[in-house]
Amino acid sequence: MPLKISDLVNGWNAFQFALDQGTTFWGHMIVDNACLREALVPQHPDLLKSGLGQFAADINVAALTSDPELLELSLSCSSSNLAKISSVDYQGYYTGYDENGNTLTTDWHGFTKAGQATGHLGSVTIAKVAEGTATTPRLIWNTWMLPAQKEIAARAILHFRGLTNLVYLTAASTKLEIPQRKNAAVSLFTSLDLPHPFWSRDKRKLRATIDLNIDPAKIERAELHVNAWTGGPGTVTNYFTLNGHFFSVAEGSRHELIYSQLPVDPQILKRGRNQIELLSDTEHHGVELLLPGPCLMVRFKTD
């Protein structure tokens, strides 16, 4: 959400959030973490003080010749600048599961939780070594479980040694592509009958279905994606099930957001309606499933 500089004051800034899609009680969305990101002008005093006045870096992306579904992400910067970096968070822009809950499936994916990146492509830590000997941080982006698509992109967020709140965001590497597979395809299957809200407490069982229009025998791999709020299942052990099989998506009762990406045995899936059940017997909050709700990402044979 872009802000005008005039919206801010020098000192404490207070923020209030409201989320409403038809009700004003607990629903499908929640703001779990928020941060204020400010872009500093070149030669800003904080950059000069930190020795980053001339800092620059770019992201490189290359498909591996051994497997075009694997993209190697790396940084391009001088050895002196590389020695200042403590870690790198890689982000991807693509169409996939909306794990950050902003209602966009085509987006920069990932979010921060307690200041740490999660749901992103991955992070690489750079060991502190003598200048000129640091290894360029590389990460393999495995697109095997994403739909074929054009116009994807990647970028990197760089963290510096001894600087907690100062980061560097590279320009995006664009015009990338996840090619069509020769004998396979990947699709995201959502639920069209989510309860409103999808929140169980006091032994109130809720159900939703995900329809699959493919033969499970053709499924090569399946993943369950869920965003859950952990108010607690109480004494219920198998509080979340898919076709009667339990999946651990909201452990504990710490009242926090948990994003889960779990493998699913294709043998438990059905062509047609696949039923999800949620049950908590807590007196108070219980377990809440946030938008976009539980989804299945499925790779299947097309020949």
* Predicted confidence (pLDDT) per residue in 199-240, tens digit: 999 999 999 999 999 999 999 999 999 999 999 999 999 999
| More confident of the two residues 83 and 219 | 219
Q: Based on the fold, state whether residues 172 and 196 are members of the same structural domain.
A: no
Looking up residue 72, the CATH number of its domain turns out to be 2.60.40
Residue 169 lies in a domain: yes
* Predicted confidence (pLDDT) per residue in 245-295, tens digit: 999 999 999 999 999 999 999 999 999 999 999 999 999 889 999 999 999
Residue 256 lies in a domain: yes
Q: Based on the fold, state whether residues 146 and 192 are members of the same structural domain.
A: no
**Would you place residue 115 in the very low, low, confident or very high pLDDT band (cuts 50, 70, 90)?**
confident
Q: Based on the fold, state whether residues 121 and 254 are members of the same structural domain.
A: no
Looking up residue 285, the CATH number of its domain turns out to be 2.60.120.1200
Alpha-carbon distance of 196 to 5, in angstroms, equals 38
Confidence check: pLDDT of 150 > 70: yes
Q: Based on the fold, state whether residues 161 and 252 are members of the same structural domain.
A: no
Q: What is the residue-averaged pLDDT of the chain? A: 92
Confidence check: pLDDT of 160 > 90: yes
The percent of residues in the chain predicted with pLDDT above 90, rounded, is 80
Q: Based on the fold, state whether residues 158 and 195 are members of the same structural domain.
A: no
Residue 10 lies in a domain: no
Overall average pLDDT of the 106-135 stretch: 86
Q: What pLDDT is stored for residue 16 in this prediction? A: 87
Residue 23 lies in a domain: no
Q: Based on the fold, state whether residues 273 and 143 are members of the same structural domain.
A: no
Domain-terminating residue out of 144, 178, 212: 178
Q: What pLDDT is stored for residue 196 in this prediction? A: 85
Q: What pLDDT is stored for residue 24 in this prediction? A: 55
Q: Based on the fold, state whether residues 173 and 198 are members of the same structural domain.
A: no
Q: Based on the fold, state whether residues 170 and 197 are members of the same structural domain.
A: no
Q: Based on the fold, state whether residues 170 and 230 are members of the same structural domain.
A: no
Q: Which domain holds residue 111?
A: 35-178
Confidence check: pLDDT of 128 > 90: no
Instruction: Give how many domains the chain has, as a whole number.
Output: 2
**257 neighbors 228 (Cβ within 8 angstroms):** yes
Q: Based on the fold, state whether residues 42 and 139 are members of the same structural domain.
A: yes
pTM: 0.92
* Predicted confidence (pLDDT) per residue in 185-208, tens digit: 999 999 999 998 899 999 999 999
Q: What pLDDT is stored for residue 258 in this prediction? A: 94
